[in-house]
Amino acid sequence: MFDVLPQLAPDPILGLSAAYKKDPNPNKIDLGVGVYKDEQGNTPIVSAVAKAARRLIETETSKTYITPQGVQGFIDNMLTLILGQSHPALLADRVAAVQAPGGCGALRILAELLTRVNKDLTVWVSDPTWANHIPLIGNAGLAIKTYPYFDKDSASIKFDAMIDALKTIPKGDVVLFHGCCHNPTGGDLTQEQWCEVLAVTQQQGFLPFFDIAYQGFGDGLDTDAYAVRLFVETLPEVIIAASCSKNFGLYRERVGLAAIVGETSAVKTIAQSQIQSVARGIYSMPPSYGGALVDIILSDAELKQEWINEVDEMRERMKSLRGLLANALNSNQDKQDFEFVNQQKGMFSYLCISPEQVRAMRDQHSVYFVDSSRVNIAGINQNNVERLAEALIAVL
Ligand code: LMR
């Protein structure tokens, strides 16, 4: 039966890991999948998570089903983490939310919910956006269009073009924004630019959809939530997909949050019932484990502080790696200025080189990253930065 289907190429991001593993070069460098790595190239379990896991083993008394919305303590704590303590939308009981299997699960169930509102609805995504946004949203049946975002030639955000495009988007459409640490470019809007985007959103009346998967990796947990908080404070309706993969290092446990801010508490109640029914129709209820760990951490002042310190440490390390790479590149050549790497935020940067140059990096130098030229900054370390810079200079 399945022979009628074509064999597909490997996933553009996940496929890189397999190619990297196969490469026998002992000096190979992996800057592919967005996973945090320490100086030794390992992705250790965040220590607050390890402590929470021990506590969970000692206290969990049953493996019976959890509720369809997931671990309620997780949901409450995550909403506070994203929106801030005492956010007016929370006080007004306007936020429906479910624990989701990862940020991907959250994106997909929100996309499915949108098809229930209008199956012909269009979602606008930034050009470029995270490659997996397209199947996650498109496979739910929604149309996807793009708005200009990043200019590879100048390695900067095309803000004017973005605003002009947003001004053409009608009420009834949905616009996906990256809350912080834009994936794949690392180019984030300033707070002033977010205010302009908010004004256009208000004027046009389209629905903002925030994907916030890297909270804490840009400027800090609160600063990174600036745009989401601002939009939720000002607008009647906003939807949010959040991930705990990166900032809690819970990648394989698949834990995220899907939230709908409704205009009133009554709308919230409707949205809550709908989103639970969407989840029930796909996977019934989320796995409890990751959510339970996050709940334990965020409910305990000491553990929470330990986790915040670890997020701060990951962020500061990635910032210093940006400086290291920009320096190694700029002090050794004058073909291209890479100072922009130092200005960008989060886990990724576009190196703004061509797909041919990216492939030459892979084939001739065993340096692996996405064809778009997106690199995972956390894959850089003191031992590989010089080799990485030499390889890049060689392919320029
Ligand atoms: C990435 O962008 O590399 C990560 O979010 C992993 C993924 O699923 O693509």
Lowest mean pLDDT: which of 81-85, 109-113, 331-335, 375-379?
331-335
For tokens 């502080």, the residue is: 305
Distance CA 205, CA 237 (A): 10
Ligand 1 binding pocket includes 130 (Cβ within 6 Å): yes
Ligand 1 atom with minimal separation from the 370 CA: 3
Taking phi over 0 as left and psi of -120 to 50 as alpha, with beta for the rest, 308 belongs to alpha
Lowest mean pLDDT: which of 268-272, 306-310, 336-340, 343-347?
336-340
Asked whether this chain's domains 10-44+314-395 and 65-299 adopt the same fold, the reply is: no
Distance CA 276, CA 327 (A): 50
Considering the segment(s) 65-299 as one domain, its CATH architecture is 3-Layer(aba) Sandwich (3.40)
Q: What pLDDT is attached to residue 177?
A: 99
Site to substitute for ligand 1 among 130, 374, 376, most atoms within 8 A of C-beta: 130
Confidence of residue 229 (pLDDT cuts 50, 70, 90): very high
Report the candidate in 238, 251, 290, 267 with the shortest Cα–Cα distance to residue 99: 290
> Mean pLDDT over residues 33-48, rounded?
96
Distance CA 297, CA 289 (A): 13
Ligand 1 atom with minimal separation from the 11 CA: 9
Ligand 1 binding pocket includes 36 (Cβ within 6 Å): no
- In this structure, the residue with its CA closest to atom 2 of ligand 1 is 34
Confidence of residue 228 (pLDDT cuts 50, 70, 90): very high
Tell me how far the alpha carbon of residue 247 lies from the centroid of ligand 1, in angstroms. 13
**What are the phi and psi torsion angles at 143 (to 5°)?**
-80, 145
Each domain of the chain, given as residue ranges in start order, spans 10-44+314-395, 65-299
Q: What pLDDT is attached to residue 345?
A: 97
pLDDT of 335 higher than 90: no
Amino acid type, 291: G
> Mean pLDDT over residues 111-140, rounded?
97
Tell me how far the alpha carbon of residue 98 lies from the centroid of ligand 1, in angstroms. 22
Ligand 1 binding pocket includes 33 (Cβ within 6 Å): yes
Report the candidate in 161, 149, 163 with the shortest Cα–Cα distance to residue 204: 163
pLDDT of 377 higher than 90: yes
Ligand 1 atom with minimal separation from the 376 CA: 3
Catalytic residue IDs: 130, 211, 213, 246
Ligand 1 binding pocket includes 206 (Cβ within 6 Å): no
CA 274 to chain centre: 24
Ligand 1 binding pocket includes 372 (Cβ within 6 Å): no
pTM score, whole prediction: 0.97
Distance CA 305, CA 297 (A): 9
Q: What pLDDT is attached to residue 330?
A: 86
> Any residues with CB less than 8 A from the CB of 145 and at least 6 apart, and which?
122, 123, 124, 125
pLDDT of 244 higher than 90: yes
Kindly tell me the sign of the dihedral angle through the C-alpha atoms of 35, 37, 43, 49. Answer: negative
Distance CA 110, CA 140 (A): 9
Ligand 1 binding pocket includes 369 (Cβ within 6 Å): no
pLDDT of 332 higher than 90: no
Tokens found for residue 339: 């100072």
pLDDT of 341 higher than 90: yes
Report the candidate in 378, 389, 250 with the shortest Cα–Cα distance to residue 321: 378
Q: What pLDDT is attached to residue 204?
A: 98
> Looking at the domain 10-44+314-395, which fold is it?
Aspartate Aminotransferase, domain 1 (3.90.1150)
- Tell me whether the omega of the peptide bond preceding residue 128 falls within 30 degrees of 0, making it cis: yes
